[in-house]
A and B are shown apart, each in its own frame.
Chain A
Amino acid sequence: MAERGRQLNLAVGAGIAAAAVVLALTLGTLGAVAWRAEFAARLGPSDWAAVRFTLLQATLSALISVTLAIPVARALARRRFAGRGVLITLLGAPFILPVIVAVLGLLAVFGRAGLLSQFLGWFGFPPFRIYGLHGVVLAHVFFNLPLATRLLLQGWLEIPAERFRLAASLGFSARDVGRELERPMLREVLPGAFVVIFVICTTSFAVVLALGGGPRATTVELAIYQAFRFDFDLGRAALLALVQFAIGAAAAGLALWVQVPQATGGGLDRVAERPEAAGMGHRIADAAWIGLAAAFLLLPLGMIVLRGAPALFSLPPAVQAAALRSVVVALSSAVLVLALALPLAFAVWHLRGRRLAGWLEALGYLSVAASPLVMGTGLFILLYPVADPVALALPVTVVVNAAMSLPFALRALVPAVARVEGRFGPLADSLGMRGLARLRHLHLPRLRRPIGFSAGLAAALSMGDLGVIALFADPEQATLPLQLYRLMAAYRMEDAAGAGLLLLILAVTLFWMFDRGGRVNADT
């Protein structure tokens, strides 16, 4: 019993240590920020403008994404066509798409010299202006329309096929089906989808850095960055960081209050028979929606490939060095995420049924509400007296990236550990498999898929992250996203296109490698 007790304490202890790290990173950095915020400092009118802009752009982005997703998801739910599966898979891709690469692609389509402006030029219209509120919203819709579509599509597919058959046998028109079947589902799913996207958009930084700015299009996150980077006004940065945390906490609270749908990923391949929508008009409308959505997603990506390919093999040495740094950061971040998530997941399992388990898991999700810039600011304040934060830019980036990926890793690992222990725990117990033997011969082989997925996601997110690194780094230690941003800011668009394609390839490859590694030869 003593031996067993020690094993158990070890697992729980490791989990609590991991939770303490997360706590220090989220609330600890916030505390450091609060301590530093001088109470004499007040929010000026420009700061309030930033708060208003943050809420405005997040509301608009969420509203437009969700509204456009309705016809697209409906079309996908009731049409079968070649490439449907690929398109639905692609709807999941923006999640690992580096933000700054997407911005580059959007510029190639909607920018001053982009496809749209050229098209408008033929008819004598002035070029489309992408900078400012509508650029920020456009980019956010680009990222979140796919997410909203997947969430709504899932809602559609959860309506039992029998109901549609019943509706057909009763001679329902498309309008009747909409009223009786689709609207009740939407009433349930839409608020959650809206809140999720709203939360994501309140902490968005890279999009606003690239497409916003100026007094009329600055979010709180960007204001933190500017106060920190340009004015080196730590007090004001700290105050803004508190405001940002309040917004994030309020938004997360909203998400807890509203029923948030979960993207399960699987089972989106079914199509219900829908006789009421068989008419030519409906088919043309659906095809148009699917075509428009696909073009909106694929054109920017295509432009990155098209423009980037020629420059890919003649990239400046600074870009190559940055790429190497980014890969190291991404891999370290993936390792760190597992080092935090696995002990947490094991501890949650060991403590199941007790209140501490709930607390540990909740702590792991805390970084959803935290902002990377707040974390970065806090770490800077904490590190400043003891070390040169600029020299630690890359390690800090690794740590913050890992903290931001942790919620996704936990969502994959906590239920997986419970499943594995539930199924094979008694056998392992009866064979006396403990500690390392249990880890090697039970957990690692059985958890390969969620481990691979978590590591891949963490690596891809870290690879493309342009957040905390922008706060700290000097030119000698830029990551690839930061280097790309600098090329764009210097209007070196050819090099930028090459760097963008390289970044895209690296992020997708990292995700694919880990995720694939978790799947091949997995005996289930």
Chain B
Amino acid sequence: MLTLEGLTVRQDSFELRADFTLETGAMVAVIGPSGAGKSTLLSAIAGFIRPSAGRVLWQGQDLTPLPPGERPVTMIFQDNNLFPHLSAFDNVALGLCPSLKLASAERARVRGALARVGLAGLEERKPAALSGGQQSRVALARVLVRARPLLLLDEPFAALGPALREEMLDLVAELCRETGATLLMVSHDPRDAERITDRAVLVADGLAHVPVPTARLLADPPRALRDYLGGGARG
């Protein structure tokens, strides 16, 4: 269970508060207007931003003092998820060992993860020699080997075309179901949110609201979200 306990993040004049819990295995969309603090919320959970008050807990353990690498979290960023100078294999292997010293069983795990996301045979390619979709798959293979129980997606597929994006989202959903991971996913597009999440957190006006069922939030959006989605999007 993920608990945000009176979490407050302050950056200059901007402030974001969050106070809710998510049970293990939940699939949650984070939606809201641009600049409302969706990425900030994920960064605070992942440990990139130090909260000015409150705590982040996972299964009762306080994560707040831990650096990002030691949290039970994998985060996929908007971009720069792969090191351009390393092969697909090494990029995934970093998820197992930051110094890239792998035992043979671990090497097999890396190869297995790459095969699982459909990249068997492309292990030695560097990111520049992979398509955008394949690069996303490498990042997802790393999610698999890291096997951290909490997966945070900060719109990593925003640059992909609609069909490819849906393919990636479906793959994310499959991986989460297989590993039992808890998912928090920033989304711009309500259709993306509806596609794989069952609950949604609205971030608006300095507050990350308590999660509600995604379908209900989108069917009857509060004012802040309605302004953002536009009148034509939903009734």
Interface residues of A (CB under 8 A from B): 1, 3-4, 423-424, 426-427, 429-434, 436-438, 440-442, 445-446, 522-524
Contact = CB atoms under 8 A, between A and B. Distances in A.
A1 B48 contact: no
B69 A432 contact: yes
A437 B67 contact: no
Contact of A429 (B48, B81, B90, B100): B48
Nearest to B142: A431
Given A424-B80, A424-B83, A429 B99 contact: no
Contact of B99 (A1, A437, A446): A437
A283 to B, nearest CB: 44
Given A441-B83, A441-B86, A426 B77 contact: yes
Contact of B46 (A4, A430, A440): A430
Nearest to A524: B84
Contact of B69 (A434, A442, A445): A434
A521 B6 CA distance: 49
B3 to A, nearest CB: 20
A430 B66 contact: no
B111 to A, nearest CB: 19
Given A1-B65, A3-B67, A426-B77, A431 B95 contact: yes
B80 A423 contact: yes
Given A1-B67, A432-B67, A442-B83, 4 more contacts: A430-B46, A430-B74, A437-B98, A522-B85
22 contacts: A1-B65, A1-B66, A3-B67, A423-B80, A426-B77, A427-B83, A429-B67, A429-B68, A430-B69, A430-B73, A430-B75, A432-B69, A433-B69, A434-B69, A434-B98, A441-B86, A445-B85, A446-B85, A523-B85, A523-B127, A523-B128, A524-B84
B126 interface: yes
B80 A427 contact: yes
Given A431-B94, A445-B83, A446-B85, A437 B100 contact: yes
Contacts of A1: 65-67
B178 interface: no
B12 interface: no
Contacts of A437: 98-100
Contact of A430 (B68, B86, B100, B128): B68
B85 A431 contact: no
Nearest to B65: A1
Interface string B149-174: 00000000000000000000000000
B200 to A, nearest CB: 24
Given A433-B98, A445-B85, A523 B126 contact: yes
Most A CB contacts (10 A, CB to CB) among B47, B67, B73, B100 go to B67
Interface of B: 46-48, 65-70, 73-75, 77, 80-81, 83-86, 90, 94-95, 98-100, 126-128
A446 B86 CA distance: 10
Contacts of A433: 69, 94, 98
A441 B94 contact: yes
Contacts of A434: 69, 98
Contacts of B84: 523-524
A195 to B, nearest CB: 38
A445 B70 CA distance: 24
Contacts of A429: 47-48, 67-69
B83 A4 contact: no
Contacts of B95: 431
Contacts of B94: 431, 433, 441
B86 to A, nearest CB: 7
Closest 5 CB pairs of A and B: A432-B69, A437-B99, A445-B85, A433-B98, A437-B98
A423 B126 CA distance: 18
A522 B86 CA distance: 11
A436 B100 CA distance: 11
Contacts of A431: 69, 94-95, 98
A4 B67 contact: yes
Most B CB contacts (10 A, CB to CB) among A433, A434, A436, A440 go to A433
Contacts of B81: 427
Most A CB contacts (10 A, CB to CB) among B69, B74, B80 go to B69
A3 B70 CA distance: 11
Contacts of A524: 84
